[in-house]
Amino acid sequence: MKLTSFFLQPFTLINSPKQKLILIGICFGFGIIFTNIFIPFNVDEWESDTGLEQFLRLTNYSLIAALSLLFMQFVIRKVFKVLTFTAVWRYMLWFLGEVCLISIIYLLVYNDNLTSVWEQFKFTFKHTLLGISIPYFIALVILALIQSRNEKTVTKEKVDLIGIPDENGVIKISLQLPSILYLESADNYVVIFYLDQEEVKRILIRNSLKKLEALFASSILKRCHRSYIVNVKNIKLIEKASRKYLVHIKNTDTIIPISKNYIPEFSQMIF
């Protein structure tokens, strides 16, 4: 990917409230730990304090930064209706705006009245930019990994869609494989029973169970009777009644027999 293409692509890592809170939480937590343990920029010498008083002052730097980010992400974005960023470079400008806001608040809280406002702003801006860049980058990496994992999950769910063709091989409907309960033969048609938000629905396809059985041979849809194919993941229980085995389907009162010829297909579940 060319560098210019990278900066022009949409930036989607910080759109949801959860993503925003992860960003702010990482910056806040990292700031407290890093500032108090590693004492960057000799911040311990900026004031004549020690012990708990110094800890609270250094922690306050992180608190101000976190509250500023909170204000920018949840208030300013809402006021200006910035739902997402259409390009990476736009978010980079937004980040610089966040740094400016934090610097201005630092300036208002810690104004020393000894140097010019501009000199103080340059000083706070430089140290804020250096201090917040590391946790900000770490947060973006974590959010990118979470987003990548979620995209893979969505892709996997899409793969679970199964197309059901008619007798001419034309896909008439695609369903989430786990939602299919069972298929029933009806003359020259097949009735597909599936679950839609806890409600059992049906759809009619002109085809034969024999053709669909061959199509679904390697899936969780198994032929159990001359008139039925069942989704083995949606079997509630298999009951032995006399010399017969009966399949009870989840979310329904349907009971389907297993023919003798198909018992080997279900041997692991009934023996």
| Residue at which a domain ends, from 158, 193, 212 | 158
Same domain for 100 and 151, yes or no, is yes
Three-state SS at 216:
coil
> Is 140 in contact with 122 (CB distance < 8 Å)?
no
Same domain for 153 and 198, yes or no, is no
Same domain for 27 and 139, yes or no, is yes
Name which of 4-18, 40-54, 184-198 the model is least confident about.
4-18
The predicted model gives 100-121 an average pLDDT of 91
Q: What is the pTM of this model?
A: 0.60
Domain span at residue 186 reads 161-270
Compare 226 and 114 and report the one with higher pLDDT: 226
| Residue at which a domain ends, from 127, 158, 189 | 158
DSSP string, 71-125: HIIIIIHHHTT--SBSSHHHHHHHHHHHHHHHHHHHHHHS--SSS-HHHHHHHHH
Same domain for 137 and 171, yes or no, is no
The total number of structural domains in the chain stands at 2
Chain segment 134-159, per-residue pLDDT in tens? 999 999 999 999 888 876 665 555 55
Same domain for 82 and 98, yes or no, is yes
